[in-house]
Amino acid sequence: MKNISRIDLNLFVVFDAIYTEGGITRASEALQLTQPAVSHALGRLRVLVGDPLFVRQGHIMSPTPVARELIGPVRRAIGEIEGSLSQLSDFDPLTSQREFKIGMRPIVESAAIPELMLRIGDAAPQVKISSEHHNRSDFQTNLTTGTLAAVVDVLLPLTHNIRNQRLAAGKMLVVARKDHPIVQGSISLECYLAQEHVLASSRKIGPGMEDMELSRLGFQRRIKLRCQHYWTACKVVSSSNLLLTMPERYARSTNEPLANQLIPFPIDMAARDIFLYWHASAENDQANRWLRENIIASFETPSRQ
């Protein structure tokens, strides 16, 4: 392995496919190669690195410790090459049939995707957008390998080759049912604290960010229900006297079919920051830059009433 000029770099493409697919058969289908060709390539790579790389456990090819150590650098290298090649071709959104995969959590998707699709609908009639639930621990690898073109999420730890930009956050709003007996159009802090509330959080324990701000000011609200999703919380609010506090952009997109009231939070408080992430290799890529510009513009557009 000392002389890179004597190494067939396609072996590492095969290695990545086997690692991803968990077996030679599925890797051969993904690469559109015959199974013997994939097996032969794996055999050559095993000799090259002096390690079996994969051991069979039932129907799965499990990676060895050496394979686990090798996969990160291999995927980064493949991603860098693919990113460089993609920059050589012009991108025309009017004619492109590209598919862009964006990592998003469900709550971010509900706020970001509708406006993004409105923006690109006529400008890129054949471009496809795929929003995918992503694992935060793997988001940098997914950006590096090109598995994801971009990620939209809260502030995450970065390495030097991941770029990010803060997106418009908006304000916090209070959600109440249309015919709430006490809350109509506005709410004071005293009235807010006197009501019972829903807390929507993906975490099992701990306060919401609105609770932390209230605590900082010396106040505490009464949580009647804790649930995982804003949509569930909004549905509960629409048929009860409970109140929900949530970011403006999510509130407007989620409550539109429910006709709930959206009222300014009695404390001046910005919603949690959301960021757009992409890999440094895609910085000057025309297609990725076009995608980023449209995502940024989507968040800058005022939330639709």
Per-domain residue ranges for the chain? 4-86, 99-168+273-300, 172-264
pLDDT value of position 305: 44
Q: Which two tokens stand for residue 153?
A: 């999420």
Detail the DSSP E strand segments found in 93-206: 99-104, 128-132, 150-153, 162-167, 172-176, 196-200
Say whether 172-264 and 4-86 share the same fold. Answer: no
pLDDT value of position 242: 98
pLDDT value of position 88: 57
Q: Which phi and psi angles does 304 have, rounded to 5°? A: -75, 135
276, 165 contact by CB (below 8 A): yes
pLDDT in tens, 149-203: 999 998 888 888 899 999 877 789 999 999 999 999 999 999 999 999 999 987 7
Place of tokens 């804003």: 230
pLDDT value of position 52: 94
pLDDT value of position 83: 67
pLDDT value of position 191: 97
Name the packing angle between helices 35-49 and 10-21 (round to 10°). Answer: 110
Name the packing angle between helices 35-49 and 24-31 (round to 10°). Answer: 110
Detail the DSSP E strand segments found in the chain: 54-57, 60-63, 99-104, 128-132, 150-153, 162-167, 172-176, 196-200, 222-227, 243-247, 261-264, 274-279
Name the CATH code of domain 172-264 (choices 3.40.50.2300, 3.10.20.90, 3.40.190.10, 2.20.28.10): 3.40.190.10
Q: How many other C-beta atoms lie within 10 A of the C-beta of residue 302?
A: 11
Instruction: Report how far Cα 262 is from the mean position of its chain's Cα atoms.
Output: 26
pLDDT value of position 60: 86
Q: How far apart are CA 211 and CA 249, in angstroms?
A: 19
Q: For 4-86, CATH number?
A: 1.10.10.10
Q: How far apart are CA 70 and CA 76, in angstroms?
A: 10
261, 177 contact by CB (below 8 A): yes
Q: For 99-168+273-300, CATH number?
A: 3.40.190.10
Sequential DSSP letters for 234-258: HHHHHTSS-EEEEEHHHHHHHHTTT
Q: Which residues of the chain have pLDDT under 70?
A: 1-5, 83-89, 302-305
